[in-house]
Amino acid sequence: MATFYNQATLSYNGNTTTSNITTGEFIEALSALHTHIMDTYSKDDEITFVLSIVNSSATDYDGLEVSFDLGNYQFGTTTDVIPLTYIPDSLKYYINGVLQPYHAVTAGQTLNVSPVSVPANGNTIIIYKTLVNEFAPLEQGASITNTATVSGGCIAESITAPAVITAETSAILGISKSISPSVVSCNGSVTYTFIIQNTGNTAATASDNVIVTDTFTPALSNLTVTLNNQPLTINTGYTYNETTGLFETAAGAITVPAATFTQDAATGEWNITPGSSILTVTGTI
């Protein structure tokens, strides 16, 4: 709500006098709510945002400008970085629930939409999609605040509506497998190496029940199994069937540390160093 003041001046015969000061207030009839489909994010996630603008007056609001800062934050003393990237052609613009024709959209440091109209006693909804990019913080407790600003027309003061999403708190695991040597004769020894990587901000603990299962073909005998160079014992650390070649680690035997995150001092880009655990299985073919 904005306050305005007014005072009149009366001049006569070289004299001047002033009136009392009148005070008025602009009553803002527009309100805005900025929300999101997903509450949390990880790198490369697609996040959908929804801006709802409601007009509680009997007068149309036309010629408005709407901008979204896409989570803009300052890195260092001079650089602004943008953790969300607008997905081209994803924006939809509705008036009272009716989809409108293509609207003028510019995307860069901000996403800008204009002109925007909100009918009397009606609403306008803008829906758009973004991609979480390399400038998004990913450590535990991190968040992105994407603020919408509605201005122009006869709005006395710009209306802002933030939408906050937080970094997903979880382990994100992947696995790769290699064999050495790759060429082996009968009764030869072979080693399978499994690298389990965690790109999440939370360690995978025993309670996560991480299990590696593999069926060795041909089956191996005389197994030696290690996890991070420490031996695993059959039946407690793993099970193995020499007839079928079925190998499986015990639930809770494997843990994987969380990734570490560092921000490039020059660009502001976040780099991920995965946490990892190495499982090796050596046996005779």
Q: What is the CATH number of the domain that holds 70?
A: 2.60.40.740
User: SS3 for 211?
Assistant: coil
pTM of the model as a whole? 0.81
Residue 23, pLDDT score? 64
| CATH code at position 220 | 2.60.40
**Last residue of one domain, picked from the residues 129, 146, 167:** 167
Both 130 and 202 in one domain: the answer is no
Confidence grade of residue 210 (pLDDT, cut at 50, 70, 90): very high
145 within domain boundaries: yes
Domain span at residue 160 reads: 29-167
Instruction: Check whether residue 134 and residue 205 sit in a common domain.
Output: no
Q: What is the mean pLDDT of the chain?
A: 93
- How many C-beta atoms surround the C-beta of residue 189 within 10 A? 14
pLDDT the model gives residue 109: 87
Residue 77 lies in a domain: yes
Domain boundary among 139, 167, 195: 167
> Which residue, 135, 167, 199, sits at the end of a domain?
167
Q: Are residues 91 and 214 in the same domain?
A: no
User: For the chain, what is the domain count?
Assistant: 2
Supply the pLDDT for residue 31: 97
Q: Give me the pLDDT at residue 230, please.
A: 97
Q: Residue with structure tokens 């009968």?
A: 186
For residue 208, the SS3 value is helix
Report d(CA 139, CA 131) in Å as an integer. 18
Domain co-membership, 186 together with 147: no
- What pLDDT shows up at residue 275? 98
Q: Which tens digit of pLDDT belongs to each residue from 110-119?
A: 999 999 999 9
- Whether 123 maps to a domain, the answer reads yes
Q: Is the pLDDT of residue 274 over 90?
A: yes
Establish if 56 belongs to a structural domain. yes
Q: Is the peptide bond before 231 cis (omega within 30 degrees of 0)?
A: no
Residues 151 and 82 in one domain: yes
